[in-house]
Structure 1
C-alpha cells in the first residue's frame, strides 16, 4: 500500500514510459508534417476532441469509483480479520477451562496450539490470496515482494499438521477444520460448556466468511470490458489530441497534447491498478503488514514477547 503523499516518478515512468513515448513521437510527427510540409488536412475541429474528453472523463470517473470500492472492501475485510483474531485469542484463553487441576497443562497446551494455529491461518490466507495467476503482470518482480510459499506458517504448526497442510488445495480452510476438531475434543472432555462452544464456533464461522469474501474479490475480476474499453478510449483520445491543437498552437501542440494525454493515462491506470487489491502490487491492501500486526497482537495476548519485526516502509510502500 502506498503511504507517502508523493509518488515515485521512477515507479510511474516504469509503467507509463511506452505510452508517453508514443504521445511525444505522435505530437512531434504531426507538428513536423503540418509545419514543414504544410499539410493542412491534418487539422481537425477542436470540438470533436472536447466532446470525447468529456465522455472519457465521465467513463474513467465511474470506473475508478467502482475500482476503489473493491479496494476498500478488501481493506475492510482484513480489518475484520484483525478484530476477530484478537477476539479469538481472548475467547480461547478465557473460555477453555479445565475441570480439574490435572488437566491444566493439557488445556494450556491446547490453548497455545489454537492461538498459534490461528496465526498460521492468517499467514496462510495472505499467501493464498497473493498467489499469482496467469493474467498477472510479469514485470512486477522488480519492485514488489514475491508471493512466497507457506514457510511462514511452519513455526506455528505441529510437524504433522504442517506436512498435511502443505498438500491441501485450500490450506487456510484446512487449518479452520483443525480448529473445529480441537474445539470438539475440548467440548467432549468438558473443558468448554455448550454456550462457550457455540460462541467459539461462531468466531470460526466468521473466519470462514472473511476467507470467502476475500476469495470472491480475488477470483471475480473487475468487469474486463471496463478495463479494455478505457484503454482503447484513452489511446484514441491521445491519438486525436495533436490533430485538434496543431492548427492553432503550432509547436506548443507537443507539450500540451503530451500533458493532457498523460492526465487521462494516469486516471486510467489509477483505476486499473486499484481494482484488484490482492495481486501483490504496491497499491494493494497491505496483507503482510496486517498479518504481522495480528501475529504481534496474539503473541502479546498469549504472553510471548518474541514479536516479529515491523514491516519496512520501502520508498513509501508498505506490503
Structure 2
C-alpha cells in the first residue's frame, strides 16, 4: 500500500516509459509531416477528439470506482482478520480452564500451540493469496516485491505439522483443521465447557469466512472486458490527439499531446493496479504489515517479547 503522499517519478516512469516514448515519437512524427512535408490530410477536427475524451473519462471513472471497491473490500476483510485474531488469542487463553494443577503444563502447551499456530495461519494465508494466477501474469517487472514463502510459518508450527503443511493444496485451511482437532481434544478432556467450545468454534468459522472472502477476490478477476477495452481506448485516444492539435498548435502539439495522453494513461493504470489487491505489489493491501501486526499482538497477549521488526516503507509503500 502506498503511504507516501508524493510518488517518486522513477516509480511512475518505471511503469509508463514505454507508452510515453510512443506518445512522444508519434507527436513528433505528426508535427514533422504536417509542417515540413505539408501533409495537410493529417489534420482532424478537434470536436472529434473532444467527444472521445469525454467518453473515455467516463469509462475510466467507472472502471476505477469498481477497482477501488475491490481493493477496499480486501482491506476490510483483513481488518476483520486482525480483530478476530486478537479475539482468538484472548479466548484460547481465558476459556481453556485448568482442571487441576497436574495438567497445568499440558494445558499451557496446548494454549501456546493454538496461539502460535494461528500466527502461522495468518502468514500462510498471506502467501496463499499472493500466489500468481494465469489471468494476472504480466511481463512487466515490478519495481519492488516482498518475499512470499511458506517457510515464514516454520517457527510457529511443530516440525511434524510443518512437514505435512508444506504438501497441502490449501495450507491455511489445513491449519484450521488442526485447530479444530485440538479444540475437540480439549473438550473431551474437560478443559472447555460446551458453551466455550461453541464460541471457540464460531471464531474458527470466522477465519474460514475470511479466507473464503479473500479467495473470492483473488480467484475472480475484474471483468476482463473493462481492462482490455480501457487499454484499447487509451491507445486510440493518444494516437489521435496529435492530429487534432497539429493545425492550431504547431510544435506545441508535441508536449500538449504527451501530457494529455499521460493523464489518461495514469488513470487507466490506477484502476488496473487496484483491481487485484493481493498481488504483492506497491499498491496492494499491505498483507505483510498486517500479518506482522497480528503476530506482534498475539505474542504480546501470550506474554512473549519476541516481536517481529516493524515493516519499513520502501519506495513510499508498505507491503
In 1, the alpha carbon distance for the partners of 2:316 and 2:16 equals: 19
Contact 1:140 1:281 in 2 (8 A): no
Which residue of structure 2 aligns with residue 144 of structure 1?
145
Runs of 4+ in 1 over 4 A off after TM superposition: none
In 2, the alpha carbon distance for the partners of 1:314 and 1:277 equals: 18
Q: Quick check: 1:280 aligned with 2:280?
A: yes
Which residue of structure 2 aligns with residue 214 of structure 1?
214
Which residue of structure 1 aligns with residue 271 of structure 2?
271
- In the TM superposition, residue 141 of structure 1 has moved relative to its aligned partner by 4.8
- In the TM superposition, residue 142 of structure 1 has moved relative to its aligned partner by 4.2
Q: Which moved more, 1:137-146 or 1:85-94?
A: 137-146
Which residue of structure 2 aligns with residue 66 of structure 1?
66
Which residue of structure 1 aligns with residue 297 of structure 2?
297
Using the size of structure 1 for normalisation, the TM-score is 0.98
Trace 1:1-319 onto structure 2 (pairs within 5 A).
1-134=1-134, 135-146=136-147, 148-319=148-319
Contact 1:4 1:316 in 2 (8 A): yes
Name the SS for the 1:239 alignment partner: helix
Contact 1:49 1:244 in 2 (8 A): yes
The Cα offsets for residues 79-112 of structure 1, whole Å up to 9 and x where unpaired, read as: 0000000000000000001222211111101000
In 1, the alpha carbon distance for the partners of 2:306 and 2:139 equals: 36
Q: Superposition RMSD on alpha carbons, in Å?
A: 0.9
Using the size of structure 2 for normalisation, the TM-score is 0.98
The Cα offsets for residues 274-314 of structure 1, whole Å up to 9 and x where unpaired, read as: 00000111000000000000000000000000000111111
Gaps of 5+ in 2: none
The Cα offsets for residues 198-218 of structure 1, whole Å up to 9 and x where unpaired, read as: 000000000000000000000
Contact 2:142 2:281 in 1 (8 A): no
Q: Which moved more, 1:135-144 or 1:219-228?
A: 135-144
In 2, the alpha carbon distance for the partners of 1:246 and 1:144 equals: 42
In 2, the alpha carbon distance for the partners of 1:137 and 1:97 equals: 52
Gaps of 5+ in 1: none
> How many residues are matched?
318
